[in-house]
Amino acid sequence: MSESLITKKAIAQSVKELMKKEDLRKISVSDIVKKCGVNRQTFYYHFKDKYDLVNWIYYNEVVSAVSSQKTFHDWSDVMLDILSTMKREKCFYRNAFNVTGQNAFQDYFFNLTKSLLIEIIGEMEDGKGIRENDKNFIAEFYTYGLVGIVIQWARNGMKEQPKELVDKLKYFIDDSKQFTAARYLGKLTGESGGSDRR
């Protein structure tokens, strides 16, 4: 492990510890570097601000771990991994989701989820040539639903087990996949794909 990554992980652990007791909005960079034992210059060498740090934690602890599973067939396994990680780090993610505004984790989570879904949809279309604006619409539709439910789950204390929540999502999304395939990809008899529409 490189020295840079060791430093980043140490800073990340420090903000996690602080977020167990304090709202992220009230935590300063000075608090983080004092907890970690580094100086402000070191912090800003690695991160733009505390929100960039929070986003880095999510990407490195969650997204990179599930990046090899991005297909429309095993999306539920990906979601289960994400929610399980969030529940293990409940204080951190509840706190992170409560922050709104510029560079907030909510926006980062939304944009990253949408990007992952666009990749999944690209895999699903299997050369059908779905239009980019249709692909974007499908991704946004699923993203708003998934992100909204995850945020609500986090804010309510993550009382529901990740598997229970994923099973509910799977029931809905697996049914809607059939509509999506028919409407945009022409995979059901008698239907034409979105790319043929005028």
In this structure, are residues 184 and 130 in contact, taking their beta carbons and an 8 Å threshold?
yes
Rounded average pLDDT per 10-residue block, the chain, 198 residues: 94 97 96 98 97 94 71 75 93 92 86 84 70 86 92 94 93 69 54 44
In this prediction, residue 20 carries a pLDDT of 93
Domains of the chain: 1-47 (1.10.10.60), 50-190 (1.10.357.10)
- List the one residue out of 48, 151, 171 whose CA is nearest residue 105: 151
Burial class (CB in 10 A: 0-12, 13-18, 19+), 5: exposed
DSSP calls for 107-128: HHHHHHHHHHHHHHHHHHHTT-
- List the one residue out of 79, 169, 181 whose CA is nearest residue 123: 181
pTM given for the model: 0.79
In this prediction, residue 53 carries a pLDDT of 97
In this prediction, residue 62 carries a pLDDT of 84
In this prediction, residue 193 carries a pLDDT of 44
Structure token digits, residue 179: 């509509």
In this prediction, residue 184 carries a pLDDT of 65
Sign of CA dihedral 5, 7, 13, 15: negative
